[in-house]
Amino acid sequence: MIEVTEKKDYRLVTNEMRLEFAAVSDNEAFARMAVSAFIAPLNPTLEELSDVKTAVSEAVTNAIIHGYGNRGRVTDRVQMNCELRGSILEVEVVDRGVGMEDVNRAMEPLFTTRPEWERSGMGFAFMEAFMDELEVFSEPELGTTVRMYKKIGLGGWIVSEE
């Protein structure tokens, strides 16, 4: 894993969760449901909920099929760390798989290393389209960390202002 953790300022953090699960495709749905449940108290709109679920699904699928080569080993692990700062959601998806030489190339729409698996090459493009911000850190042989941010619903903003 790439060390991207800087000293954390917890003063603004209102909620946090960390998950680790096996890199098997059943857990794509699990990760989406977990993040939905995590942001539920913010009263996200259906649109926001779909946006976050799609982005998380893309990141977790990437970790499972590209990071760990789709080998379905239970000992391969994906971490999903979520954090709320008021109404700002941060989701981090971390794998310790093969990593990437050229992150910018991987992020180009339609680029895929796995055309034989019918990957559309739209994963990063969807993450960028549905979240407010996207950061990708990767190192060959060490793994990949995807970090995404999105502001969630006015409902949550009103609650945190009270």
d(CA 151, CA 2): 26
d(CA 162, CA 158): 6
Considering the candidates 27, 62, 83, 90, report the single residue annotated as catalytic: 62
Q: Say how many Å lie between the first and final Cα of the chain, rounded.
A: 39
* Minimum distance from residue 58 beta carbon to another protein (Å): 6
- Of residues 20 and 26, the one with the C-beta less far from another protein: 26
- Of residues 126 and 157, the one with the C-beta less far from another protein: 126
d(CA 152, CA 19): 21
Candidates 97, 123, 143, 156: give the one binding another protein (CB under 8 A): 123
Considering the candidates 27, 32, 48, 58, report the single residue annotated as catalytic: 58
- Of residues 72 and 155, the one with the C-beta less far from another protein: 72
Which residues, at least 6 apart from 34, have a Cβ–Cβ distance to it below 8 Å?
17, 19, 80
Of 122, 123, 130, the C-alpha closest to 148 is 130
Positions in 62-81 near another protein (CB under 8 A): 64-65
Of 87, 95, 91, the C-alpha closest to 147 is 91
Candidates 20, 120, 135, 158: give the one binding another protein (CB under 8 A): 120
- 37 contacts another protein (rule: CB under 8 A): no
Greatest extent of the chain over all pairs of C-alpha atoms, in Å:
53
Task: Please indicate whether residue 62 is annotated as part of the active site.
Answer: yes
What is the binding site for another protein (CB under 8 A)? 25-26, 28-29, 32, 50, 53-54, 57-58, 61, 64-65, 110, 117-123, 125-126, 129
